[in-house]
Amino acid sequence: MQQSFYTSLSGASTHQKGLDTWANNIANINTSGFRSDTTEFKSLVTDFVRNGGQIKSASVNKKGFGVTYLPSRTNFSQAAVVNTDGEFDLSIKGAGFFVVGDAAGNLRYTRDGSFIKSRDGYLVNSSGYFLYGVDLEKITDNVFTPNQSDAQLNTDKVSDFKRLKVLNGTIYQPKQTTNLNLAINLNSGNKIKSIKHAYSDMLYDKSETFLYNRPLAEFINIKDGDKFQINTDTQQGIAYTYGTDFKNLDDLKKLILRNREDIRLEIDNDTIAIVNVSGNRLNVNYEGSSEGLKNALSLETDVIGKDAHLSLAPLYQRQEYETDFNGLFAKNKSQIRITKGDNIDIEVNGVTHTMVYGGHDEFKMGNKTIPKEDSFLTIGDFIDKLEKKTNLEVSMENGRLKFKNISSTAMDINISSSDTNLISDLGLQSTSTISPGSSVSSYSFGVSTHTKVVNVFDQTGKKYNVKFHYVAQAPLESSQDEKWHVSFSLYDGNKLISDKNTYGIVKFSDTAEVSTILFNPEDNTRTEIDSFSLEFPNNEKISVNLKNDNNGKSSTNVKYLDSSIISKDINGNQRGTMDGVIISEQGKVIINFSNQQQEIYGRVGLVDFVNKNGLKKTGNNMFEESYAVSRDGIKYPASGGANIIWDKNGRISSNIGQRSLETSNVDLTKGLTQLIVMQRSFSANSKAISTSDEMVQQAINLKS
């Protein structure tokens, strides 16, 4: 009778503890990262009822002694994640625990990612425990030093974890740009621009200071030893030699100013011009000038009116004249199609002059040899060779091919081609009569271009702009490799600071990748190179590579992509200050700086355990490791010990969310149900106690 009293008491006591457990779960329904506990009971010792030590029947009599409460089992299942406004609120989706520690370095583990920044910059939770992880130690004295190794991010030792610290006002050190590597696609069929403006844009500084002082060979086909002499009907000129007497237009302008009173040399709208200051009409000739220079500047006997000027060659003539006919676009941006062997016949007053497309020099067409004087590839070839055959002045003016009658009588001109569409594509009339001094012109031509600006930085972090400008000279369908003219220039804002020649030619072979780069140094030769240099004002150099970047990407000329940068690898940066912190899904702590740099500073530590229920709750929503002792007296962690959960490559299957928190995983419905169950069980056991008490009382009353 007394046993039933104690058996019922054990039941009431055990269910009271169960009631406490579920009440605690429900109390923490809104506690971030809280892990609920599950109640488990077991019966106490069961004994056999024996008669003289012998079992007398097939059915064994048993007697129980109540129930007891097992240690609660923690439920580590995933809970819901909600977004928050806290910059350092973190959640875990998947397995794992955050590692936190007190001032003495005693580690705890938690799913509660409610962290804030302390006054010292450390990330701490509400209990003042520090968040631990990988610190790459890139910040010293509040200065961030980039380009250190990130290998430590994948450490497999919890002992490598340190307190994570993010200081406001962290400075990003400036670094000078030394390498500019570009992989770029150039499509010779898009981004069409007037040939005049395309090459005029290559005069990357339109200031008179620049145009007057650059070597003249950068702009027109002139070489050392060429002579320039201008004569008028009032004064015989002096022959000036390029490379000896003058190197640029400023030199030539001063020579003419010093020795002439009737003319001046000026630049007008990117074009070299002779200005009449004599007060009278002037007849001009260039006897004494070398033939090469006459051709380069289109020098012909002419007349300059009073106070008028005579335009010679545009300063972008050299590049314009090097454009292949197949690189031209005419009306409606349709590409001129001309193949090797196609001819253009110009009949002047009954005499036919044939020009055959296919080469700069003599070339073969089957069994026929095309002599050099009849062959052409480029605009320059066509103009120079045709002028020698006829009394026509052939030139490029405002992007148009111009045929001018410089004779004293009218000319009947007939233009035809073996390709019936070519002449109309060029916009030329097949038959016309040109009076003296008059001209006929083609359509205004266009070419494919691409212009881009990228930023570079000097050693103080000051930003400069590198502008590069590409113009297609010959597409791959031509009889030669595809070629693009390119100019690079360095600017401080809108001010040009380049003081080196930065013109070059980029060639593509039929592999669709850059095969050759030719660069123009100061002596005006073209040398094959892999890279060239631009210079900052402090004479520090930037190595420019147009073939490829450092990531395995090469420059191409594929036609299914627009002209654009495929990839760029440019080092250097300006000074920056910390502008925010990003914690990635892989737990990497990334600092954003005001100079647009992003750098990995460290990593939030994540660990997991083989036996999570070997962890012990310590309060404040944290766990610590508990220890057991083996039979041979060795102490070991009951949880199996903390293990970093990323693999050797640094990848983890769990995700960390920033500005979010994991909620409690308490199931409220189940919790309320369990409260009812525990309450009913407690009541039943209480009733059993009352019944036992009544039976004892009745037994006592039997004696009275």
Are the C-beta atoms of 177 and 570 separated by less than 8 Å? Answer: yes
Q: How confident is the model at residue 528 (pLDDT cuts 50, 70, 90)?
A: low
Tally of residues, the chain:
704
pLDDT at 81: 93
User: What confidence tens digit (pLDDT) does each residue in 415-466 have?
Assistant: 999 887 888 888 888 888 889 888 889 888 999 999 889 999 999 889 999 8
CA-nearest of 242, 230, 243, 320 to 275 is 230
- The mean pLDDT value for 237-265 works out to 89
**DSSP assigned state of 107:** E
Of the chain, the end-to-end C-alpha distance in Å amounts to: 19
List of residues 6+ apart from 299 with CB closer than 8 A: 286, 289, 293, 312
The arithmetic mean of pLDDT across residues 483-501, rounded, is: 78
pLDDT top residue among 336 and 703: 336
Q: If pLDDT is split at 50, 70 and 90, which confidence band does 522 have?
A: very low
At residue 129, the pLDDT reads 96
CA distances (Å), origin 444, targets 310, 395, 396, 427, 684: 22, 13, 10, 9, 103
According to the model, what pLDDT value does residue 10 have? 67
- The average confidence (pLDDT) of the chain is 83
Report the alpha-carbon distance of residue 397 to residue 403 in Å, rounded. 10
pTM as predicted: 0.67
More confident residue, 184 or 100: 100
Q: CB under 8 Å to 687, separation ≥6 — which residues? A: none
Does position 52 have pLDDT exceeding 70, yes or no?
no
pLDDT at 525: 53
Q: Which DSSP letter does residue 554 get?
A: B
Largest Cα–Cα distance in the chain?
162
**What are the tens digits of pLDDT across the range 172-212?**
988 899 999 888 888 888 889 888 888 877 665 556 666 78
pLDDT tens readout for residues 327-376 = 899 877 788 888 888 999 999 888 999 999 988 888 888 888 999 999 99
Residue 324 amino acid letter: D
Confidence band (pLDDT; 50, 70, 90) for 514? low
User: How confident is residue 704, by pLDDT bands cut at 50, 70 and 90?
Assistant: low
**342 close to 417: Cβ distance less than 8 angstroms:** yes
Read off the pLDDT of residues 252-306 as tens digits, 9 standing for 90 and up: 889 988 888 888 888 887 788 889 888 888 888 888 888 777 777 777 778 888 8
Q: How confident is the model at residue 469 (pLDDT cuts 50, 70, 90)?
A: confident
pLDDT in tens, 590-620: 999 988 888 899 999 999 999 998 899 898 8
Percent of the chain with pLDDT over 70: 87
Give the residues across from 76 on adjacent strands: none
Give the HSE-up count for residue 367: Cα atoms under 13 Å, Cβ half-sphere.
0
Q: Show the tokens assigned to 602.
A: 């460290």
Instruction: Return the pLDDT at 523.
Output: 45
pLDDT at 513: 57
